[in-house]
């Protein structure tokens, strides 16, 4: 088995850049995806293929990856960005893992 490790919480003031990290050996070889989940809602894909952004996701969401660590950055974070963010990767077709989630607070 393998794991993806995220900080449990991150806090920023509105307008600042929020950075959420995801660490795991598999990330050196496999893509990272990021999901946003607001209370009572299903997750939403915000980043795929380490740094690609679906067209409906605001440009302030930025993904990067280096070695065994991937980072989701939210430039100019807004109150509406408060959510839990999960990273995800697949070492193999039958080895698919989410990180534990990071609660982002913007206040």
Partner 1 sequence: QVHLVESGGDLVKPGGSLRLSCAASGFIFNDYYMNWIRQAPGKGLEWVSYISSSGSTTYYRDSVKGRFTISRDNTENSVYLQMSSLRAEDTAVYYCARENSAWSDAFDIWGQGTTVIVSS
Residues near partner 1 (CB under 8 A): 31, 33, 35, 37, 42-45, 48-49, 52, 54, 84, 86, 88, 90, 93-94, 96-101
- Tokens 């607070």 -> residue: 105
> CA nearest 98: which of 107, 87, 82, 84?
87
Bridge partners (DSSP) of residue 9 are: 103
- Within 13 Å of residue 32, how many CA atoms lie on the same side as its CB? 32
Nearer to partner 1, 12 or 63 (CB): 63
- Tokens 């939210």 -> residue: 74
Residue 14 beta carbon to partner 1: minimum distance, rounded to whole angstroms: 26
Residue 10 beta carbon to partner 1: minimum distance, rounded to whole angstroms: 15
Nearer to partner 1, 94 or 107 (CB): 94
Nearer to partner 1, 76 or 97 (CB): 97
């Amino acid at each position: 088995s393998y794991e993806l490790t995220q900080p449990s919480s991150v806090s920023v003031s509105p307008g600042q850049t929020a950075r959420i990290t995801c660490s795991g050996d598999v990330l050196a070889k496999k893509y990272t995806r990021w999901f946003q989940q607001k209370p009572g809602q299903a997750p939403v894909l915000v980043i795929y293929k380490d740094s690609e952004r679906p067209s409906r996701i605001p440009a302030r969401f930025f993904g990067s990856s280096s070695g065994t660590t991937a980072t989701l950055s939210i430039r100019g974070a807004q109150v509406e960005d408060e959510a839990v963010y999960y990273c995800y990767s697949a070492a193999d077709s039958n080895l698919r893992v989410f990180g534990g989630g990071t609660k982002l607070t913007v206040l």
